């Protein structure tokens, strides 16, 4: 009886041998195919030169544009923190940005840089009355912040400055890009008291951008509930 069981096990093992061997071969082939796919090189698109801004650029400005980051992926070597942020400017400046890229400003809470807020409404209430009364160009941008350094409410400006006294005490007029780079940071973030802001120093960190309507269009339908509904 024992001899019959051993013989049956041996026969089953021999029958499975070819099938198992073929299965192992299939697994080896699949693994080799995956390795070949992973070894394929990624082509990087060359940089493009943006056209110059003309007098009719505002009317003919594109409503969506890829950022330089989409054309030059060298920034991917470092840490990545990709967020959708917002920037408000004038019509002429907005048209120029969409035709080329963001450029660093000369002053601000954190010195010269490119400032973004977390929503269009934050951009609006952070702006001065003069900016709100002029032609508004609201940009939604996908930004790679890289490694961001948290800063105090006054960032690199005078510590006595607040959002109410900044017009009198003065703000930082120097670029902090080199100092942040030496510390290993790609951007800064701070909250002066009216909402979080993010500051980058390179326009190439913007992956894509587009103009969005401002003020936002009213809702297509507003439901009406009679007074009796709430009684």
In whole angstroms, how far apart are CA 221 and each of 21, 203, 215, 227, 229? 66, 39, 17, 19, 19
Both tokens assigned to 151: 């800063």
Q: What is the pLDDT of residue 45?
A: 39
pTM of the model: 0.63
**pLDDT by 10s per residue, the chain, length 231:** 444 444 444 444 444 444 444 444 444 444 444 434 334 333 333 444 444 545 455 555 556 555 554 444 444 446 789 999 999 999 999 999 999 999 999 999 999 999 999 999 999 888 765 666 668 899 999 999 999 999 999 999 998 888 788 777 878 999 999 999 999 999 999 999 999 999 999 999 999 999 999 887 776 665 555 554 444
Q: What is the pLDDT of residue 147?
A: 96
Task: Sheet containing 197-200: give its strands across.
Answer: 64-66, 206-212, 136-144, 82-90, 114-117, 197-200, 187-190, 148-150
**Residues paired with 208 in a beta bridge:** 66, 142
Q: Are 169 and 154 in contact (CB under 8 A)?
A: no
**Residues paired with 137 in a beta bridge:** 89
Q: Are 168 and 137 in contact (CB under 8 A)?
A: no
């Amino acid at each position: 009886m024992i001899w019959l069981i051993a013989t049956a096990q041996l026969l089953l093992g021999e029958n499975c041998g070819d099938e198992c061997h073929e299965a192992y071969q299939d697994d080896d082939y699949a693994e080799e195919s995956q390795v070949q796919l992973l070894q394929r090189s990624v082509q990087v698109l060359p940089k493009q030169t943006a056209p110059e801004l003309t007098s009719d650029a505002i009317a003919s400005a594109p409503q969506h544009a890829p950022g330089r980051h989409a054309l030059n992926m060298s920034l991917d070597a470092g840490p990545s923190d990709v967020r959708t942020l917002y920037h408000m400017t004038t019509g002429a400046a907005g048209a120029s940005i969409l035709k080329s890229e963001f450029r660093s400003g000369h002053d601000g809470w954190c010195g010269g840089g490119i400032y973004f807020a977390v929503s269009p409404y934050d951009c609006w209430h952070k702006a001065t009355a003069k900016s709100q009364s002029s032609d508004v160009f609201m940009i939604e941008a996908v930004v790679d912040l890289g490694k961001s350094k948290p800063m105090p409410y006054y960032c690199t400006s005078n510590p006595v400055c607040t959002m109410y006294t900044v017009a009198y005490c003065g703000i930082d007029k120097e670029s902090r890009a080199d100092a942040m780079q030496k510390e290993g940071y790609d951007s800064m973030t701070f909250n002066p008291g009216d909402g979080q802001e993010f500051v980058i120093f390179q326009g190439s960190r913007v992956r894509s951008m587009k103009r969005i309507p401002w003020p936002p269009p009213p809702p297509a339908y507003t439901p009406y509930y009679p007074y009796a509904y709430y009684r």
